[in-house]
Structure formats: C-alpha cells, structure tokens
Structure 1
C-alpha cells in the first residue's frame, strides 16, 4: 500500500491517479462491455422474439424480420414491353459466339423467363406496399427496431473486438500491478536490496518482452501478408504495454521504492522477484540467444488473443470474487455455524465444503482464495485453530471445488480436447471432490489437539436458525435473478453462462448489502490488546474471545461504505489481480511454448509396455507442471503435448484429465512455488504469515510447517488414489 507521502509527489501521485481512477474506470467500462457482449445474444434473441409477437402478423404473412430496416421501394418496371425485350434478347444470343456451347434458348424460353421476372417485380411492389401499410398501421415499430438494431450493433461490435478489449484491459491492469508492485512472487519485496533485485529483474524481463513483440511485429510486416487493422492495433498495444513496463522498471532502478524494513540479503531478495519476470527472462534469453527465435514470446502471447473469450470470462470471475468481498455473505453464512462451537477441524471442513461451490462459480482456485481467503483464515483462527492450520485451510479453500460444475477450467479442457465433454468431467469431478474433502477431515482430525466438540443442539439450533434469517435475502436474490435469466432470457445457469450471470448476481447483492439497514455494531468482547494483536478474555469468561482486529470486523461501521465506493474498491482490486494473474498466465503459456519448442515430450519413452509406469510418469509430470505454471496455461500446454501421447498408451481420457487436475492442484500447494500459498499470503497479509511462523517456533517440525504439510497430506493420497485405483480396477477386469 502506498502511504500518503508517496501519493503526494513523483511517480507515487501518478501511480495513485492511474490505479485508483484511470485504470479502474477503463477496466470497469470493459467489464461492463464484456457483460453486454455475454448477455447480448440472449437479450437480442428475446428482442427478436418480442418484435415478432408485437409486430408480426400471421394472417398477412408479415414478419418482424422483414421490418428491421425501412423497406426500399423497387425500381423495376411492372409493365415492360415483353415482345421488344424478347427480340432484343434473341439478338444478343445470336451475337454470342459461346451461346452454342451451353445451348441456345428458344424464343418461348426467353419469353417465359421475362414473364417470370415481371411477376417477381409485381410481387416486390405488393410486398413493399404491404410492408409500408403495416408500418403505418404500427408506427411504434420504427422506434422498437431502432432500439433492437442499436443493441445489435453494440453487441456485434463487442463480439468482433473481444481480443482488442482483452489486450486493452491487460494493458491498464498490468501497468497498475507494476506501479503497485502487486505481481505474484514467493515473497513481497521489503528491504532496499529486495527492491533493487526486484527492479533489475523486472527491467530485464520486460525489456526482453518488448524486444520480442517488436521483432514479431516487424516479422509480420515483412511477411507480405496483409495485416488486419485490429491485429495491427493489438501489436501496438503489446509494444506499448511492455515498453511502458520497461520504463517503469528503469525509473524504479533510478529511484527505488521506499523499503518497509531494514536489513535483507541477496538470497531472500531473489525470492521477491515476480514469477512472471523469471518466466520472461528464461524464455526471452532462450528464444533470443539460443534458438534464434526472438519473436517467440510475442507469438505465444497470441494465445491470449486466440482464447480471448476464456480470458475475458476469467476477468469477469475475478470481478465477481472481488464483489463477493464487498458483501457480508461469507460472514453471515459463518454465523449459522458459530453457535455450534465446533472444533476448528470440523468447522474448517464444513467451511471448505461450502467454499467449493463459490470456487467453482468463480472459475479457478486462486480467485476464491483472493476473494474469501482472509475471512476463512480469521474464522478458523477465531474458532481456536492454529494460525498455521488456518493458513493451510486458506490455501486449500480454492482447490476442492475446481472439479465441480460450472468451473471454467473444465470448460477450457473440453474445448481443447474432443475426447471429453464437460458433463463427463463434472460427473467424475464430484467423486474427486468427495475424496479430497473426506481426506481433509480425516487427516485434520488425526492431527487435531481436540478431536471433537459441539454445543448442545437445544442451545445451538435456535441461534443457528435465527442466523439463517439474514442469509435468506441473498438466497432470494440469487433465485430471482436465476429465474429472470431462465424465463425472460431463456438461459439457464451453467458453465457457459456463469461468467456473465455471477457478476450480475453479485452486483445486485452488493447493492442490497449497502442499502439494507444493518444492526448497530456490537460492543467488543473483552479488551483489545494491540501488543498481542488479539482481545484479552472478559473477566467473567461468559463469551468466546474473538481474535480479529476490530477494524477488520465486518460489523465495524467503517466497513459500511456506500455502493459507489464498494464498486470502486472492488474494481480497483480487480484491476490489480487481472494485471498480476493474466500476465502470469500469458508468460506461463510462453513457458509452455518453450517446453514444446525444445520438444520435451520427445524425451517421453516411446516403447513403455506398462500402463502403470505410464501413469506414474504422468503423475510426476502433472505435479511438476502444476508447480511452475498457472492452470489455464498448463491446460493449453498439456492438451497440445502430453494428452495425445497418453491417449496412445491407452490411458482413458477422463482418467487422464482427473490425474491432470488433481496433479495441478497438488502442484499449487507444493513448494517451492505453491501458487495457492502465495495467493493466500496476499489475502491475509505478510504480517499474519510472520505471526504464524513466530507462534510455532518452539513446536515440532510438523506444527512449524503445518501450512505446507497439511495440504500435501491431503492431496498426495488423493493423487495416488485417483491415479492408481482406476488402473487396478481395469487391470482386474472390474470395469471395461
């Protein structure tokens, strides 16, 4: 976060204006345009049907589609001189030396043709007169068609320029993420040496990217193939983006960001470098200096353009996640569970079960971790869970639901692989979800200090039922909007429509949340101790002691901001996350292209006789890919390289993608990168992570590193079961 002094001068002021206002406004407009594009086909279809009901006339055969443009008066002659035209046509035929090759038309044939043309002309005039009479009888049709065709024009423009919208969005968002040092790394830069190494790496990475996109643009211009204006604009936007990022990095080298603490060392400084900068340097140096392929990075950036619809949907999901943060939904839901005074492990399991659905509806694991990670972390901690355990739960909160309908990742897999369908993947994904969630409960209870705890039902149930009442309006909003789409727009909520419908639902929920009259904030329980960063227990011990700072409490009046401010805040957060996540995904695709270019899969043995060995190699490969790449980039790479080889060895496509998905998720919680842990740290803050480490310094190895060990203890057995149980079933003939 920038402090007030930074905002008042230099690049700090420019950064504040750019990130808080310019980029937020532009990205908000583009997100709304994307919503219009997504709903445009549904709405336009309904407008056409409504136009037909209002202005169509089955008795006269007049349809609204005939009236979408002003009828043009025919110019043909309804009373021509047929005899003269026949004679003229016969003379033309006689003078045509090639007429004999196709057969010379007789005079009667020519006359018949001209009479038919005369009849068509008469019918055109009749239709024109009928259309004009119909319009005059229904003058509002002109107003209606203006609305309908104007909407169609906007929808058509948006549909034809999806790629352009995406690149503009990435440009503004990536510049914002760079100005705020918001890119994803193993740790945040804090010391002077951290920022020095960070900025040098950013300068090298962005410089190589700039050189690559310029080289690609020159190659396209010199190819002799005409370049569409839209593509030229996209090339210029890429060059502008990476050129600007290079200049920002250069400025930060000259005038570095102020450190937040003293000390530091070179080894830790390298951990502060954003992952995308490492990817840019590795692929840039390899393509440019070792493969003589300087335009390589720029070419693989084209994958973003090719899959622009998917990445725009991802941006909408990120926005939905940030809007979710502006509501009290998660906190109110947890109010239903709090009266039961459950043990931390049981409560966490229920939270993860509940989190699976919004994880699926927000598209990918990382988005939900960012959106709700802080709330989940604090709730597990408040219930008495260890900070390390709470961090582990936060990292896992986005992993269990990625196999459920309508997760966007499954849609990408099905679109790239014709051997599988979304229905098949979602069906077996449910089994994977049940397995991983059950394993989490069993392992959590095994390492729990208190195995089971629950309040008496006669005390907890009434409180829980009362807590359900504030949640009910959100459920009603969801159902009403779903019914509107289902009946008014003939569209159901599924994996294809969720990216459009979820932001709309959450916008309405945010509006409701900000307009409703909340109860007065409750008085703090006990006394807040700023040194211990917690409440001290009340003297009578009558109430549980919350462990959250009052300023973070959802009941605090400072958090009750108006709708406009909430929309601005959520959009600003969305800008930062789009800039960080999409650039990381773009460079992941570049890494995938690099691995494909060096023909990594050629090293895969071609004569393996054991299917078990093939599955073992796939498990290792999928976990490795998940450790270094984001899910969407990994799916693109695996679909093009590994999947065809696996199918050839007899691995069932559904089984293969189940291994891939669980392997990716295992990779996202496996050091040294562990993307979900990085996002969990972004959600809860570096101070909480440091406090979690300090809290367990005196404990055993497991508890000191529980946030790393617990997800691995859940995901590794799940990986092994999913990989080998179907193999043994097939081996023993238990299913075909």
Structure 2
C-alpha cells in the first residue's frame, strides 16, 4: 500500500474521533452563521412583503387583530339623548355642579358622537380591507417570515450562551491538546509540569471568581433587584470547573514523549499567556478586595458577543482556507516571474493584505496561510530569518482594510470616526508599510540579484496559472451576486462574517466534487481505473472545524483575560496619572504612541481597543489630536506591539504553524543573524508608526496624503 493510502486509512480511522470533537463546535458555528444570515434574510423578507402587499406589517399579525366592536351608523339623535341623561344623572350626584356650571351642551355632544362614528367607520374600513388583502399567498409568506423571525430571535437572543459555550468548549480542546499560546513551546517534562500547574491554578481562580460573582448576583436577585442573564453564571462556573478538572488530570499524567532535562527559566516561559494574565489580574483584584473581578469583566466581554462570535467564524474561514488549494494556486500565478527573495517578500505582503482584512485579525491569517507563505519564500531562496519575518509581518498588513473586524469594533465603540474614514486611511498606511519594508529589505537583506524573468517568458506562464483560479473567482462572485440579488446587501464589514464561510464551503465542495482534488496535506493521489479519487468534502470541513476549535479556544481565552487585564489597568488608576493637558501635542503623541505599543505587546487587539476607548481616547481628543489620526495611530501601534518582543504574538503564531528556526544562522550566527526575524518587523512597523504619528501634525498636505480625510473639529 502506498504512503498516500496509509494516510487516507489513518484519516478514515480518525473520522469518528473528529466527529465527536468537531460536531459541537460545528453546531455552534452553524448557529452563529444562520443567525447572521437569518437577520439579513428576515430584513429582506420584510422589505419584499411591504413592497408586494400594502399594509403587510398589519397583515403579518392579522390573526392577532380584533374585529372592531363599535357601531358604524348609530342613531345620533337617540345617542345624544342617552348621553344627555347620563350627564344629567352625573350632575345630580355632584354637590359642586352649580359652582362649576351645570349646563349641558347638546351640540358638543352631538359633534363628539359624530366624530366617534366616523372613526368607527374608518376602523371597519381598514378591517375589511385587510380581510380582502389576506389571501392564501399572504398567509403563506407571513407564516414563513414569522417562523424565520422567531428562529432568528431565538438564536440572536442567546448569543451570550453561544459565546460562553464556544469559549469554554474551545478552551477545553486547547487545554486537552496543549495548544494554548505561550512564549515558547513545551519541550521537557519540567516545562509541561510548570505549564500545567499554572493552568490548574488559573482555571481554579477563574472558577472561584465565577462562583463568587454568581453568589453575589443571586443575593441581589433575592433582594428584589432585577437582573438579567443569571444563567450565564452557571455556564461560567461549570465550564471553568471542567477546565480545572482537565488540568488536574493532566498534572497526574506524566508525558513520556518529552525529554527529562529542563531549566526553570525556560519552563516559566512555557506557561500559557492566559494563565499569566489570570494570575496577575486575580492577585491584584484580591489585593483590592474585588475577588470576583475577572468574572465581572468576562460578563462585560459577553456584551459584545456578536463581535466575538464573528471572530470564531473568521477563524473557521481561515482553517477552511488552509484545507483548500487556493493559496498554492495564487502563488502559481507569481511563480513564472521568478522573483528574487526581496521582491517576492514585497509581493507577498501586498497579496496577503486583503485576506488578512477578510480574516478579521492578523493572527488568524498567519494560522491559515502562514505555512504556505513560509514554504514559498523558502523555495524562492529566501533566508529562514527573512522568511519568518515576512510571514509575521504579513499578518499585520491588512488590519485597516475593509472589512476588518478590528476597525468595525473601533467604529462601534465610539462615534468620532466612521469605518469609511478608517478604511480609506488604512489603504494608504498599507502602501506606506510596503514601501518601508521594501527599503529596509533592499538595505539590510544583503547583496543579491534583483533580476526577474522577462515578461515574454513570465506572462504566458502567469496566464496559464490564472486559468485554475477562474473557478474560485466564479464561486466567490456567485455567492456575492446571490447575496446581492436575493438579499439586496453587498459584501462589506457587516456581511463578511456570513458571506465568507459560505464562499469557503462552496470552494471546498467545488474542489472535492468537481475538481476531484484531495486535501492539500495529503497531496494528489495516484489514480487508477479501479481506484476512484477520494474527494473528502465532509472530512475537509470536519478537519477545518477540528483545527479551528483549539485555535479559537487559545485566542478567546487570551482575549477574555486581556479584557480583565485591561479592567485591572483601568481600575488601578495608572492611566489617570496621565495629565489631561500636556501643553504640547508633540509630547502627547510621543507618550500615547509608547503607551499604545506597550498595550499592544501585552493584550489582544479587541481587549486593547476596549481599554483604549475608555481611557486614552478621551485624553488624546482633549489634547487636540484628531479622532481619525488617533485611531489610525492606535491600530498601527497595536500591530507594532504584536511584532515586538517579549510577547510578539504574531511571531508566536508563526512559530506555531512553521516550527522553531533550525538554520545555522538562526542558531549559531551573530546577534543580528539570530534575531533578524524580530529586528526587521520592528524596524518596518516602527518606522511606519513614527511617520503616521508625527507627519500628519506637520502639515495639512502630509495629513491628506496619509489619512485622506478633512480634519474634524475636536472638542477639548
């Protein structure tokens, strides 16, 4: 049996295990997707109904409308007499009637009764018209629309529950598979024990915090205070308790696949970052008597459940992309040009900007396509350090392009900037960063030829490579056109979390069923007349979901604890030491830039945005910095932080998909050679950040070139 057949056999034997581990997450992701699609579809159905039938909004609830009970054509003379007698009886019983006047105005009573009769006839006319319009077609359409409405309300009303289940289920998967993000991988038994003990303590503290918060909320509810979403406390307590049990079990099991030798400093670096954040925040909260502080901020995170659920969909899109042949076929278009490593790096950064934006966050794209980028760069002759640096930077190139989720969160949290302004400025920042990268690579990348293939040789090969991409373009266009025609919605930052999963599911179906292409990790199988080509669509979706589970868990746990750390910083009063007015906009920009980079080094982007919006943004606006300038600088400073040691999240994720460096210069070279993968991104992003921070303040021309928006009036 061939090696490929062995791989397929092993894949088949794992199908049941993958079903068991992937099915719950697949259900959560599908429900999240259906909620997003359902909201848009229901809105469209209401538009179609109102455009097709007059008074559709009354027709859809006609079974709940009561028939008018008034009389359309009353005898006004008799009615006036009845009203007069009733008024006389009332005046007879009123001892003060003579004081305030006891005369009865028959004309006024007659006019009032006449108007009531007109109103009654109008009600009967509307009722009869609705009955005439209530055809079987309207009833069927309204039944379908109402059913969809109830389903959407049921799912969207439980988004908190979905987020809680997603976070805890995925965190359990990341814990069981030991895939939480840390500064260095576990390599020895000592590393594993230290990391597991840290997770055990952190999970126990999370459970205790959730339990204490639950008891406090139940006591307030018993005292009569109206509280919502009490059931979430049970989810947090149960979930974190399960994580604690998993960590305790892992601590009792010694791993035999690791070396026995190790050192304490290296072991401490293997502790997951979420555990470090949890321990730091919990100790500080306890010092201030705020024992349930972490759980409080977890519930604050749930307020933005729709955004964090979208993050889960973006991770799923990234893993579906990794299961497709699309990244390889895109590189096939570039390969005929035989680009030297330096030019290839520039092209890679520009090509990856848009997928980075559509994946919602830099780390997701690195996890999805980082290995493909690294392999193609190495195949072109790029050094290991430059390939690692370029792969890490690629995750930061499109974070301000439409429809990036981070920009949507920024615009959602405050009204000082719009997504259009940020996306417009983001395109210019992308070109600036690519230019800076090109200059540094040309200056620092050593001597090498910059010669490429001639257009006469490259263009025919590029055109041939474009042909296999046509089905992918057609699939993408088909989904977007159907969405546009049926739902009257385009592809933007709000529809992307719903459209992109559908596009990737269609692409995988096309590859497996029409193109007969196997999983990229398996390679193309050897075909024979009596051995059909394996398609494996279900296996590909399950594997992508399975891969997504642990990654979502690692990212969401990091984000959840980042929100707590942000709350700790906010409550500590450290940011209040920042003067409200520094007297110099230049000094303000410099201090803000340093603080934003520091926040980006220790926090995830979404938790960092929440913190900055509540603390630093008012300070910046109060010191005369324009909102658009501040938020563009903020996002770029975050990206700088994700590339800057000691944490350098983008580098950690690159290492997770590529592995640790093994080349001679990475292990035995000079300091510059060993750390070039860190130095180059810091130089590139740092230079771009300095330009974006200070240049717009120098002249209006520079501001227009970089931010592409007229300055706004800032209220100090």
Task: Tell whether the structures are fold-level matches, with TM greater than 0.5.
Answer: yes
Mapped contact 2:436–2:688 kept (Cα < 8 A): yes
1:727 maps to 697
Unaligned runs of 5+ in 2: 1-13, 528-532, 705-709, 712-716
Deviation for aligned residue 1:448: 3.8
Q: 2:506 aligns to what?
A: 508
Aligned counterparts of 2:100 and 2:211: Cα–Cα separation in 1: 57
Cα offset, 1:196, TM superposition: 0.8
Candidates 549, 557, 567, aligned match of 1:575: 549
How many angstroms does 1:250 deviate by?
1.5
Q: Tell me the equivalent position of 1:680.
A: 654
Partner of 1:66: 58
Aligned-pair CA distance for 1:335: 0.4
CA contact (8 A) 1:363 1:407 kept: yes
Separation of aligned partners in 2, 1:276 and 1:711 = 24
Q: Is the 8 A contact 1:328 1:554 kept in 2?
A: no
Shift in Å, 1:20: 3.5
Matched, 1:618 2:592: yes
Cα separation, 1, equivalents of 2:179 and 2:645:
21
* CA distance in 1 between partners of 2:141 and 2:536 (Å): 36
What is the CA deviation profile of residues 652-692 of structure 1, one whole-angstrom value per residue up to 9, with x for unaligned ones? 222222222221111111111100011111222x3xx2424
Partner of 1:37: 35
Q: Deviations over 1:670-725 (max 9, x none)?
A: 111100011111222x3xx2424x46434333222221122112112112222222
Q: Deviations over 1:161-190 (max 9, x none)?
A: 222221122121111111211211112223
User: How large is the RMSD of aligned CA atoms in angstroms?
Assistant: 3.0
Quick check: 1:195–1:259 contact (8 Å CA) kept in 2?
A: no
Question: Which 10-residue stretch deviates more, 576-585 or 557-566?
Answer: 557-566
The 1-side partners of 2:535 and 2:220 are apart by 55
Alpha-carbon separation, structure 1, partners of 2:416 and 2:695: 21
Q: Does residue 1:265 correspond to 2:263, yes or no?
A: yes
Q: Does 1:335 align with 2:327?
A: no
Q: CA deviation at 1:340?
A: 1.4
Aligned partner of residue 416 in structure 2, secondary structure: coil
Q: Residues 650, 346 of structure 1: CA spacing in aligned structure 2 closer, same or farther, 3 A cutoff?
A: same
How far apart are the structure 2 equivalents of 1:451 and 1:312? Answer: 47
State the partner residue of 1:5: none
Change (3 A) 1:652 1:461: same
Shift of 1:280: 0.4
Within 1, Cα distance between the matches of 2:15 and 2:513?
A: 28
* 2-structure distance, mates of 1:276, 1:237: 19
* Equivalent position to 2:194, from 176, 185, 197: 197
TM-score (norm 2): 0.88
Alignment match, 1:629: 603
SS at match of 1:231: coil
Residue 650 (structure 1) aligns with:
624
Contact 2:361 2:405 in 1 (8 A): yes
State the 1:226 CA deviation.
Answer: 5.2
Distance 1:199 1:92, change over 3 A: farther
- Of 356, 359, 369, 2:353 maps to 356
2:413 paired residue number: 416
Match of 1:295 among 292, 295, 298: 292
**Quick one: distance in 1 between partners of 2:238 and 2:703?**
59
1:404–1:426 contact (8 Å) kept in structure 2: yes
- Distance in 2 separating the partners of 1:712 and 1:98: 89
Structure 1 residues 333 and 227: alpha-carbon distance in aligned structure 2, compared to 1, 3 A threshold: farther
Deviation at 1:607, TM superposition (A): 5.4
Of the three residues 308, 311, 315, the one matched with 2:312 is: 315
CA shift at 1:425, angstroms? 1.5
Indicate how the Cα distance of structure 1 residues 22 and 697 shifts in structure 2: closer, same or farther if over 3 A, else same. Answer: closer
Residue 474 (str. 1) matches residue 500 (str. 2): no
Matching of residue 565 in structure 1 with residue 539 in structure 2:
yes
Match of 1:405 in 2: 402
- Give 2:679's match in structure 1, choosing from 709, 719, 733: 709
Greater CA drift, 634-643 or 21-30: 21-30
Alignment of 1:543-554 (within 5 A): 552=521, 554=523
**Pairing 1:122-141 to 2, within 5 Å after superposition:** 122-135=121-134, 138-141=135-138
CA distance in 2, matches of 1:158, 1:44: 13
Shift of 1:333: 0.7
Task: Note if contact 1:164-1:230 (Cα within 8 Å) is conserved in structure 2.
Answer: no
Change (3 A) 1:314 1:83: same
Q: Secondary structure at the match of 1:47?
A: helix
Gaps of 5+ in 1: 1-15, 57-61, 522-549
**Which residue of the other structure, out of 337, 344, 349, is the alignment partner of 1:347?**
344
Name the CA distance, whole Å, in 1 between partners of 2:520 and 2:101: 89
The residue that corresponds to 2:11 in the other structure is none
Cα gap change, 1:720 to 1:123, in 2 (>3 Å): closer
Distance 1:233-1:491 versus aligned 2 partners, 3 A rule: same
Q: Is the contact between residue 327 and residue 513 of structure 1 (CA under 8 Å) also seen in structure 2?
A: yes
2:714 corresponds to: none
Can you list the C-alpha shifts for 1:378-417, whole angstroms capped at 9, x where unaligned? Answer: 1111111122222111111110111212211111112223
Q: 1:614 to 1:117 in 2, by over 3 A?
A: same
1:76 to 69, 75, 97: 69
Residue 493 of structure 1 aligns to a residue in which SS? coil
Moved more, 359-368 or 33-42: 33-42
**Cα deviation 1:591-636 (Å, max 9, x = unaligned):** 0111111111122245533322222211211111111001111111
SS in 1 for 2:183: coil
C-alpha contact (below 8 Å) 1:221/1:227 kept by paired residues: no
Range moving further from structure 2, 303-312 or 274-283: 303-312
Provide the secondary structure at the position in 2 that maps to 1:165: helix
Is the 8 Å Cα contact of residues 562 and 608 (structure 2) preserved in structure 1?
Answer: yes
Match of 1:591 in 2: 565
Counterpart of 1:6 in structure 2 is none
Equivalent pairs, count: 679
User: CA–CA distance in 2 between the matches of 1:121 and 1:732?
Assistant: 68
Offset, 1:97: 8.1
The residue number in structure 2 matching 1:144 is 141
After superposition, what is the alpha-carbon deviation per residue over 1:488-528, rounded to whole angstroms, capped at 9, x for unaligned? 21111112222222212222122212222258x9xxxxxxx
Deviation at 1:317, TM superposition (A): 1.2
The 2-side partners of 1:19 and 1:103 are apart by: 89
Distance 1:557 1:324, change over 3 A: farther
CA contact (8 A) 1:23 1:172 kept: no
Q: CA contact under 8 A between 2:171 and 2:550: conserved in structure 1? A: yes
CA 1:70–1:619: 2 relative to 1, 3 Å: closer
Distance 1:298 1:630 in 2: 18
